[in-house]
Structure 1
Amino acid sequence: MTLFNNLIILLITGFLTLVGNFVGPKINPIEALPGMFILIAIAFVGIVLAKVIPVKIPSVAYIVTIATVLTIPGGPVAEIISAYTAKVNFLALCTPILAYAGIYTGKNIDSLKKTGWKILVLGLFVILGTYLGSAIIAQIILKMLGQI
Protein backbone atom coordinates (compact mmCIF):
# COMPACT_ATOMS: atom_id res chain seq x y z
CA MET A 1 0.00 0.00 0.00
CA THR A 2 1.38 3.42 -0.92
CA LEU A 3 1.89 6.28 1.51
CA PHE A 4 -0.80 8.23 -0.33
CA ASN A 5 -3.32 5.42 0.21
CA ASN A 6 -2.38 5.27 3.88
CA LEU A 7 -2.94 9.02 4.19
CA ILE A 8 -6.34 8.76 2.48
CA ILE A 9 -7.38 5.97 4.88
CA LEU A 10 -6.23 8.04 7.86
CA LEU A 11 -8.18 11.07 6.60
CA ILE A 12 -11.34 8.99 6.06
CA THR A 13 -10.96 7.50 9.54
CA GLY A 14 -10.44 11.00 10.92
CA PHE A 15 -13.58 12.27 9.21
CA LEU A 16 -15.65 9.35 10.51
CA THR A 17 -14.22 9.93 13.98
CA LEU A 18 -15.25 13.58 13.87
CA VAL A 19 -18.77 12.56 12.86
CA GLY A 20 -18.92 10.03 15.70
CA ASN A 21 -17.48 12.65 18.04
CA PHE A 22 -20.34 14.97 17.14
CA VAL A 23 -23.11 12.35 17.22
CA GLY A 24 -22.05 10.70 20.50
CA PRO A 25 -20.51 13.15 22.96
CA LYS A 26 -21.74 16.19 20.96
CA ILE A 27 -18.28 17.71 20.52
CA ASN A 28 -18.17 20.30 17.76
CA PRO A 29 -16.10 18.91 14.84
CA ILE A 30 -14.33 22.27 14.43
CA GLU A 31 -13.14 22.08 18.07
CA ALA A 32 -11.94 18.49 17.62
CA LEU A 33 -10.32 19.08 14.21
CA PRO A 34 -6.87 20.18 15.50
CA GLY A 35 -6.67 17.12 17.78
CA MET A 36 -7.73 14.86 14.93
CA PHE A 37 -5.06 16.34 12.66
CA ILE A 38 -2.45 15.78 15.38
CA LEU A 39 -3.48 12.13 15.68
CA ILE A 40 -3.44 11.69 11.90
CA ALA A 41 0.00 13.33 11.67
CA ILE A 42 1.45 11.09 14.38
CA ALA A 43 0.00 7.99 12.71
CA PHE A 44 1.26 9.04 9.28
CA VAL A 45 4.78 9.76 10.55
CA GLY A 46 4.80 6.32 12.22
CA ILE A 47 3.75 4.68 8.95
CA VAL A 48 6.44 6.58 7.03
CA LEU A 49 9.10 5.55 9.56
CA ALA A 50 8.04 1.91 9.29
CA LYS A 51 8.50 2.06 5.51
CA VAL A 52 11.75 4.07 5.52
CA ILE A 53 13.70 2.46 8.37
CA PRO A 54 15.15 -0.85 7.17
CA VAL A 55 14.50 -2.67 10.48
CA LYS A 56 11.21 -4.58 10.33
CA ILE A 57 9.23 -2.99 13.17
CA PRO A 58 5.46 -2.55 12.85
CA SER A 59 4.26 0.99 12.27
CA VAL A 60 2.14 0.83 15.42
CA ALA A 61 5.35 0.63 17.47
CA TYR A 62 6.60 3.85 15.88
CA ILE A 63 3.21 5.52 16.35
CA VAL A 64 3.04 4.64 20.05
CA THR A 65 6.65 5.72 20.59
CA ILE A 66 6.14 9.08 18.86
CA ALA A 67 2.92 9.76 20.75
CA THR A 68 4.50 8.79 24.06
CA VAL A 69 7.58 10.97 23.54
CA LEU A 70 5.47 13.95 22.44
CA THR A 71 3.19 13.73 25.48
CA ILE A 72 5.75 13.13 28.24
CA PRO A 73 4.65 15.42 31.09
CA GLY A 74 6.74 18.57 31.11
CA GLY A 75 7.66 18.21 27.45
CA PRO A 76 7.52 21.32 25.26
CA VAL A 77 4.42 20.23 23.33
CA ALA A 78 2.82 17.79 25.77
CA GLU A 79 0.20 20.17 27.17
CA ILE A 80 -0.78 21.49 23.75
CA ILE A 81 -1.14 18.01 22.24
CA SER A 82 -3.03 16.73 25.28
CA ALA A 83 -5.41 19.71 25.23
CA TYR A 84 -6.27 19.30 21.56
CA THR A 85 -6.47 15.51 21.49
CA ALA A 86 -8.63 15.46 24.63
CA LYS A 87 -11.44 16.80 22.42
CA VAL A 88 -11.36 13.58 20.35
CA ASN A 89 -13.50 11.00 22.13
CA PHE A 90 -11.86 7.58 22.43
CA LEU A 91 -15.04 5.67 21.57
CA ALA A 92 -15.60 7.85 18.51
CA LEU A 93 -12.05 7.01 17.44
CA CYS A 94 -12.56 3.28 17.99
CA THR A 95 -15.80 3.05 16.00
CA PRO A 96 -14.35 3.32 12.45
CA ILE A 97 -11.34 1.21 13.40
CA LEU A 98 -13.56 -1.58 14.72
CA ALA A 99 -15.75 -1.27 11.63
CA TYR A 100 -12.69 -1.79 9.42
CA ALA A 101 -11.70 -4.80 11.52
CA GLY A 102 -15.20 -6.25 11.11
CA ILE A 103 -15.13 -5.71 7.36
CA TYR A 104 -11.69 -7.34 7.14
CA THR A 105 -12.86 -10.31 9.20
CA GLY A 106 -16.00 -10.66 7.10
CA LYS A 107 -13.94 -10.50 3.92
CA ASN A 108 -11.76 -13.35 5.20
CA ILE A 109 -14.55 -15.45 6.69
CA ASP A 110 -13.44 -18.51 4.72
CA SER A 111 -10.01 -18.37 6.36
CA LEU A 112 -11.71 -17.92 9.71
CA LYS A 113 -13.91 -20.98 9.11
CA LYS A 114 -10.83 -23.10 8.37
CA THR A 115 -9.37 -22.36 11.80
CA GLY A 116 -12.36 -24.12 13.34
CA TRP A 117 -13.66 -24.04 16.88
CA LYS A 118 -10.17 -23.76 18.37
CA ILE A 119 -9.99 -20.07 17.51
CA LEU A 120 -13.15 -19.47 19.55
CA VAL A 121 -11.64 -21.17 22.60
CA LEU A 122 -8.39 -19.23 22.12
CA GLY A 123 -10.31 -15.97 21.79
CA LEU A 124 -12.26 -16.64 24.97
CA PHE A 125 -9.06 -17.34 26.91
CA VAL A 126 -7.43 -14.18 25.55
CA ILE A 127 -10.43 -12.06 26.53
CA LEU A 128 -10.67 -13.71 29.94
CA GLY A 129 -6.94 -13.33 30.57
CA THR A 130 -6.97 -9.68 29.53
CA TYR A 131 -9.97 -8.93 31.73
CA LEU A 132 -8.58 -10.75 34.77
CA GLY A 133 -5.13 -9.22 34.30
CA SER A 134 -6.61 -5.72 34.08
CA ALA A 135 -8.81 -6.33 37.12
CA ILE A 136 -5.87 -7.60 39.19
CA ILE A 137 -3.67 -4.65 38.22
CA ALA A 138 -6.49 -2.19 38.97
CA GLN A 139 -7.13 -3.86 42.34
CA ILE A 140 -3.46 -3.62 43.34
CA ILE A 141 -3.08 -0.01 42.26
CA LEU A 142 -6.35 1.13 43.86
CA LYS A 143 -5.34 -0.58 47.11
CA MET A 144 -1.93 1.09 47.02
CA LEU A 145 -3.57 4.49 46.45
CA GLY A 146 -6.02 3.88 49.28
CA GLN A 147 -9.05 4.21 47.02
CA ILE A 148 -10.51 0.87 48.16
Structure 2
Amino acid sequence: MIKNIQEWLLLLGIYGGVVLIGNWIGYDVMPVGAVPGMLILIGICLIGLILGKVMPGDIPSVAYVAIIGVLFSMPWIPGSDLVVSFTNEVNLLAITTPILAYAGIAIGRSWTDFVKLGWRSIVVAMCVMVGTFLGSALIAEVILRMQGII
Protein backbone atom coordinates (compact mmCIF):
# COMPACT_ATOMS: atom_id res chain seq x y z
CA MET A 1 0.00 0.00 0.00
CA ILE A 2 2.88 2.38 0.79
CA LYS A 3 4.28 1.79 -2.71
CA ASN A 4 0.89 2.65 -4.22
CA ILE A 5 0.70 5.87 -2.20
CA GLN A 6 4.20 6.86 -3.26
CA GLU A 7 3.32 6.20 -6.90
CA TRP A 8 0.08 8.16 -6.61
CA LEU A 9 1.86 11.08 -4.95
CA LEU A 10 4.46 11.17 -7.71
CA LEU A 11 1.86 11.04 -10.47
CA LEU A 12 -0.42 13.56 -8.78
CA GLY A 13 2.56 15.85 -8.19
CA ILE A 14 3.58 15.72 -11.85
CA TYR A 15 -0.02 16.26 -12.90
CA GLY A 16 -0.38 19.15 -10.45
CA GLY A 17 2.72 20.80 -11.88
CA VAL A 18 1.37 20.50 -15.42
CA VAL A 19 -1.97 21.94 -14.31
CA LEU A 20 -0.26 24.88 -12.59
CA ILE A 21 1.72 25.64 -15.75
CA GLY A 22 -1.42 25.40 -17.89
CA ASN A 23 -3.30 27.57 -15.41
CA TRP A 24 -0.53 30.17 -15.60
CA ILE A 25 -0.14 30.18 -19.38
CA GLY A 26 -3.81 29.88 -20.29
CA TYR A 27 -5.51 31.85 -17.55
CA ASP A 28 -2.82 34.21 -16.18
CA VAL A 29 -3.07 32.79 -12.67
CA MET A 30 0.36 32.82 -11.08
CA PRO A 31 1.38 29.35 -9.84
CA VAL A 32 2.07 30.69 -6.34
CA GLY A 33 -1.57 31.76 -6.04
CA ALA A 34 -2.88 28.42 -7.32
CA VAL A 35 -0.58 26.10 -5.34
CA PRO A 36 -2.83 25.92 -2.23
CA GLY A 37 -5.84 24.98 -4.35
CA MET A 38 -3.82 22.43 -6.29
CA LEU A 39 -2.54 20.88 -3.06
CA ILE A 40 -6.12 20.61 -1.78
CA LEU A 41 -7.21 18.92 -5.00
CA ILE A 42 -4.26 16.54 -4.87
CA GLY A 43 -5.10 15.73 -1.24
CA ILE A 44 -8.72 15.00 -2.11
CA CYS A 45 -7.60 12.73 -4.96
CA LEU A 46 -5.11 10.92 -2.73
CA ILE A 47 -7.71 10.32 0.00
CA GLY A 48 -10.16 9.02 -2.63
CA LEU A 49 -7.56 6.67 -4.09
CA ILE A 50 -6.70 5.31 -0.64
CA LEU A 51 -10.37 4.81 0.22
CA GLY A 52 -10.88 3.03 -3.10
CA LYS A 53 -8.23 0.50 -2.07
CA VAL A 54 -9.13 -0.01 1.59
CA MET A 55 -12.94 0.15 1.57
CA PRO A 56 -14.82 -3.10 1.00
CA GLY A 57 -16.92 -3.42 -2.11
CA ASP A 58 -16.30 -2.62 -5.71
CA ILE A 59 -16.76 1.16 -5.65
CA PRO A 60 -14.30 2.96 -7.92
CA SER A 61 -11.91 5.53 -6.47
CA VAL A 62 -13.40 8.30 -8.59
CA ALA A 63 -16.64 7.98 -6.62
CA TYR A 64 -14.77 8.52 -3.36
CA VAL A 65 -12.92 11.48 -4.85
CA ALA A 66 -16.21 13.06 -5.94
CA ILE A 67 -17.89 12.47 -2.58
CA ILE A 68 -14.94 13.88 -0.63
CA GLY A 69 -14.75 16.91 -2.93
CA VAL A 70 -18.44 17.62 -2.48
CA LEU A 71 -18.24 17.16 1.29
CA PHE A 72 -15.23 19.48 1.65
CA SER A 73 -17.06 22.20 -0.27
CA MET A 74 -20.38 22.04 1.57
CA PRO A 75 -21.18 25.40 3.19
CA TRP A 76 -21.79 23.95 6.65
CA ILE A 77 -18.42 22.13 6.79
CA PRO A 78 -15.86 24.18 8.76
CA GLY A 79 -13.22 25.59 6.44
CA SER A 80 -15.23 24.96 3.28
CA ASP A 81 -15.11 28.63 2.32
CA LEU A 82 -11.32 28.42 2.42
CA VAL A 83 -11.32 25.22 0.33
CA VAL A 84 -13.61 26.81 -2.25
CA SER A 85 -11.65 30.06 -2.43
CA PHE A 86 -8.33 28.24 -2.86
CA THR A 87 -9.61 25.78 -5.44
CA ASN A 88 -11.29 28.58 -7.41
CA GLU A 89 -7.79 29.71 -8.36
CA VAL A 90 -7.34 26.52 -10.40
CA ASN A 91 -9.26 26.78 -13.67
CA LEU A 92 -11.34 23.77 -14.71
CA LEU A 93 -9.98 23.67 -18.25
CA ALA A 94 -6.42 23.73 -16.93
CA ILE A 95 -7.34 20.56 -15.03
CA THR A 96 -9.15 18.74 -17.83
CA THR A 97 -6.64 19.34 -20.62
CA PRO A 98 -3.82 17.20 -19.14
CA ILE A 99 -6.32 14.51 -18.13
CA LEU A 100 -7.66 14.27 -21.66
CA ALA A 101 -4.15 14.21 -23.10
CA TYR A 102 -3.18 11.43 -20.72
CA ALA A 103 -6.36 9.50 -21.51
CA GLY A 104 -5.61 9.77 -25.22
CA ILE A 105 -2.14 8.41 -24.70
CA ALA A 106 -3.38 5.70 -22.32
CA ILE A 107 -5.71 4.41 -25.02
CA GLY A 108 -2.60 3.47 -26.96
CA ARG A 109 -1.65 1.31 -23.90
CA SER A 110 1.76 2.83 -23.23
CA TRP A 111 4.30 5.44 -24.26
CA THR A 112 6.36 2.82 -26.09
CA ASP A 113 3.37 1.82 -28.19
CA PHE A 114 2.68 5.49 -28.85
CA VAL A 115 6.26 6.06 -29.98
CA LYS A 116 6.09 3.00 -32.26
CA LEU A 117 3.15 4.54 -34.11
CA GLY A 118 5.52 7.07 -35.64
CA TRP A 119 5.28 10.69 -36.62
CA ARG A 120 2.49 10.09 -39.15
CA SER A 121 0.05 9.13 -36.41
CA ILE A 122 0.85 12.38 -34.61
CA VAL A 123 0.03 14.33 -37.76
CA VAL A 124 -3.24 12.42 -38.14
CA ALA A 125 -4.09 13.00 -34.47
CA MET A 126 -3.40 16.73 -34.83
CA CYS A 127 -5.62 16.91 -37.92
CA VAL A 128 -8.40 15.10 -36.06
CA MET A 129 -8.11 17.47 -33.09
CA VAL A 130 -8.06 20.59 -35.27
CA GLY A 131 -10.99 19.29 -37.31
CA THR A 132 -12.97 18.50 -34.19
CA PHE A 133 -12.24 21.92 -32.73
CA LEU A 134 -13.15 23.76 -35.94
CA GLY A 135 -16.29 21.66 -36.39
CA SER A 136 -17.39 22.35 -32.82
CA ALA A 137 -16.65 26.06 -33.21
CA LEU A 138 -18.62 26.19 -36.47
CA ILE A 139 -21.63 24.44 -34.94
CA ALA A 140 -21.51 26.72 -31.89
CA GLU A 141 -21.25 29.80 -34.13
CA VAL A 142 -24.26 28.77 -36.21
CA ILE A 143 -26.42 27.89 -33.18
CA LEU A 144 -25.51 31.05 -31.27
CA ARG A 145 -26.22 33.21 -34.33
CA MET A 146 -29.56 31.46 -34.85
CA GLN A 147 -30.48 32.19 -31.25
CA GLY A 148 -29.36 35.82 -31.59
CA ILE A 149 -26.83 35.53 -28.78
CA ILE A 150 -23.99 36.76 -30.99
TM over 0.5, yes or no? yes
Question: 1:38-77 CA deviation, whole Å, 9 max, x = no partner?
Answer: 0000000000011111222100010111111111123212
Structure 2, unmatched stretches of 5+, are 114-150
| Paired position in structure 2 for 1:18 | 20
**SS of the residue aligned with 2:27?**
coil
Report deviation, 1:2.
1.8
> Partner letter of residue 48 of structure 2?
G
Residue 24 of structure 1 aligns to a residue whose secondary structure is: helix
Cα RMSD of the aligned pairs, angstroms, is: 1.5
The residue type paired with residue 85 of structure 2 is A
For residues 88-138 of structure 1, what are the alpha-carbon distances to aligned partners after superposition, in whole Å with 9 as ceiling and x for unaligned?
0101111110111010123379xxxxxxxxxxxxxxxxxxxxxxxxxxxxx
Distance 1:77 1:98 in 2: 31
Letter in 2 for 1:23: I
What does 1:34-45 align with in structure 2 at a 5 Å threshold? Answer: 34-45=36-47
Report the residue type matching 1:51 in the other structure: K
TM-score normalised per structure 2: 0.69
The match for 2:86 among 84, 87, 90 is 84
Displacement of 1:3 in angstroms is 2.0
- Cα distance between partner residues in 2 of 1:33 and 1:13: 12
Select between 36-45 and 3-12 the one with higher mean Cα deviation. Answer: 3-12
Q: Distance in 2 between matches of 1:49 and 1:105?
A: 26
Higher relative contact order (CA 8 A, sep 6+): 1
Structure 1 gaps, min length 5: 110-148
User: How many residues get paired?
Assistant: 109
Structure 2 equivalent of residue 58 of structure 1: 60
Match of 1:9 in 2: 11
TM-score by length of 1: 0.70
Q: Give identity over the alignment, percent.
A: 42
Question: Counterpart of 1:29?
Answer: 31
Runs of 4+ that moved beyond 2 A: 106-109
SS at match of 1:87: coil
- 2:107 match: 105
